[in-house]
Amino acid sequence: MKLQVIGDPVLHSKSPLIHGAMLEALGLDIPYTAHVVRRGELSEYLFWARENGVTGFNATMPHKEDLLPLLDEVDPAARTAGAVNTVGLRDGRWMGFNTDGGGAVEALRDGLDIDPAGLTVTLLGAGGAAKAVALALSRAGAERVFVCNRTLSRAEVLCGQDPLGRLAPAAFDADTLSGLAAGSRLLVNCTSLGMEGCPSQFESVSFLDALPRDGAVFDLIYHPAKTELLAQAERRGLKTLNGLPMLVWQAVLALEHFLGRPLDRSAMAAVATNALRGKGI
Ligand code: NAP
């Protein structure tokens, strides 16, 4: 049995560190390595993996969407999201899952003590991460998730893919964001604004002033650990969470799929978090 993370680029991935630590804590001698697979080489990889004892893998850029038609089965959450980040071999069949959204919901529960059920959320962005998180919040029972994006048409398309009809598209201007934030207990940043290396920052974060006093801000970015958005939210006394717990929890859920059994999720998340901290992440 071997596990891998595939992508291009992939050698910077934290998955080998996180999964390696969890597997070791479980006393399992299963290697988990990073493997470069270029766009267009997925079919060859699936053949090679089967021949070489790979029983599960995580997928990152640029493969999350391209994997769907190549797998034997794709679970409903991954199919709705149109993206797969976890693949396991079960009875000779490649099964695809998406643990990104579920990881975000677990991170919210664990890190902010927030259950999305019944919640109104302002979510910024409509890219791949936004889609996984918005759909997972809907599945978890959020009453309304406003998907606010610079390119409104992308938000409209995303919201149209929610089978539960709980997502609503919205614009990204300051007035719209403030108006929506006033009625939301949670604001989630799924844009790349504030990320290390991203040339742009939020023009204004005045929408934070509109959040209720017991409001919280979840930024999917973890590099830097504290974005300007989170620093400003903290200054206003709001609860905050960065993207590292989501990275950890999506891995915990992926490992359950790889091993085909439930794990002590909190214990695994603690092991993974400690492994990252040990490397100064
Ligand atoms: P993506 O598909 O490229 O989407 C980027 C989003 O950011 C789009 O909604 C885009 O809006 C918006 N955006 C970019 N520049 C902007 C600007 N100047 N003004 C306003 N909006 C802007 O990227 P992604 O894969 O969804 O990732 C988004 C972020 O989530 C990244 O920072 C990534 O590191 C993070 N992430 C974290 C985790 C985790 O485990 N913590 C997992 C996945 C992703 P338009 O549609 O208008 O271009």
Given a cut of 90, whether residue 198 has pLDDT beyond it is no
CB of 245 closer than 6 A to ligand 1?
no
Specify the ligand 1 atom closest to the Cα of 125.
Answer: 9
Dist. CA 127 → ligand 1 center (Å): 6
Query: What value does the mean pLDDT take over residues 225-238?
Result: 97
Q: Among residues of the chain, what percentage have pLDDT more than 90? A: 98
pLDDT at 130 over 90: yes
Contacts of 253 (CB under 8 A, 6+ apart): 86, 97, 99, 102, 103, 106, 265
Q: In the chain, what's the furthest Cα-to-Cα distance? A: 56
Please answer whether residues 172 and 138 qualify as being in contact, where contact means their C-beta atoms are separated by less than 8 angstroms: no
pLDDT of residue 25: 98
Bridge partner list, 96: 74, 87
Query: pLDDT class for 12, splitting at 50, 70, 90?
Result: very high
Ligand 1 pocket residue status of 191, Cβ below 6 Å: yes
pTM of the predicted protein model: 0.96
Look at residue 109 in the predicted model and tell me its pLDDT. Answer: 97
**88 membership: H or E segment, kind and range:** strand 86-90
Distance, in Å, from the CA atom of 50 to the CA atom of 70, rounded to the nearest integer, reads 14
